[in-house]
Chains A and B, each alone.
Chain A
Amino acid sequence: MSTEPYIILSAILFTIGCVGVLVRRNAIVVFMCVELMLNASNLALVTFAKANGNLDGQIAAFFVMVVAAAEVVVGLAIIMTIFRTRRSASVDDASLLKY
């Protein structure tokens, strides 16, 4: 079985996630795109585990999931806080720190 298509799929999903972060303005959707990127890398890790015949890749993917869970909790709390003070979930509205 060739693992190459899995890796290419992972790359495509990662790229889509990247572009999503750049073009979407809703902070929650941006966050979802970040999750998409994490998932894409997870796919690559699991694929590598299969290709190399050991479980280290799966462990790494597991850790990524744990960290992503923690990140989502804090990230969403931050988004909520910003929304509460600014009445907006747009990443473009928080642009006071500039020249």
Chain B
Amino acid sequence: MTAFWILAPIMVLAALGILFVRKAVHAALLLAVVMISLAILYLALEAPFLFVVQIIVYTGAILMLFLFVLMLVGVDASDSVVETIRGQRVLATVFGLILGLVLVIGISQVTFGAAVGLDDANEGGNIPQLANLLFSKYVFAFETTSALLITAAIGAMVLAHRERLTPKESQAGAAARRMREYAETGRHPGPLPAPGVFARHNSVDTPALLPDGTVAQDSISRVLAARGTVRSAPALSGDIDEIKRQLGQAPEQSPEVAGRSDAAASTEEGDQ
């Protein structure tokens, strides 16, 4: 019972947390807490097979599926905890309390007596005994669940399937489209320029420089530009000086560097 008294408050608190947390991810994690605690309670209740299944299937598979879907759906206005239906929250709470009270009162009215215990039933191991039952008394239900699972799998496939409405674009078609767009809008038909390359930095965030020293706008990701994490070449000029000093040369101010600095500054203005 020790395990129960430790876990029960945790479970109730975690479950209540599901009601109140704003983000769905947090709710999923709280649900994981409840489920793993439940698994431990199963162990306490002499159900080792269900303990394993609860952790592997429920917590491991189902809850991960939830998280996966959450990742696909992303943050949503539905995460808001502001109630939009008038009276819904109050009525739900009232009826929930009544239900809980009635259940608790009802249960406490019943005398369960001492538990028989599963020592006899688990004779020779819980899993073989479960298997005995499952493949004899419940074999029909078991077979039916197989049909259910297959149906569910097909159903999920049908629901997730998206019909292709337009023919798949061929390579030649893509090339033709690019040239057509170039003719119509002047959009560059070739691949975008690669970002600048510097020896000592991961340079995806550094724009490439055109031959005249100006910045190639297309060479960096729009996301990086939006975040404002684009580095400019002049900002790295200190590195050049450092290398030179390490090589034993005196640092000298190069007029090109100043020119590039201007160009980089303008790039950053344009990006922001």
Contacts and interface: CB of A to CB of B under 8 A. Distances in A.
Interface of A: 1-9, 11-20, 22-29, 31-33, 35-36, 39, 42-43, 46-47, 49-56, 58-59, 61-63, 65-74, 76-81, 83-84, 88-93
A42 B39 CA distance: 11
24 contacts: A15-B103, A19-B19, A22-B92, A25-B80, A32-B18, A42-B50, A46-B47, A51-B116, A53-B115, A55-B118, A55-B133, A58-B47, A61-B47, A61-B50, A62-B130, A62-B134, A68-B58, A68-B62, A69-B149, A70-B148, A70-B152, A73-B152, A89-B76, A89-B78
A3 B112 contact: yes
B66 A23 contact: no
A19 to B, nearest CB: 4
Interface residues of B, number: 84
Secondary structure of the B contact surface, majority rule: helix
Contacts of A71: 152
B4 A6 contact: yes
Dominant secondary structure of chain A at its interface with chain B: helix
B61 interface: yes
Interface string B1-40: 1001000100110011011000010011001001100100
B69 A73 contact: no
Closest CB pairs A-B (n = 7):
A53-B116, A90-B78, A22-B92, A70-B152, A19-B96, A15-B100, A77-B159
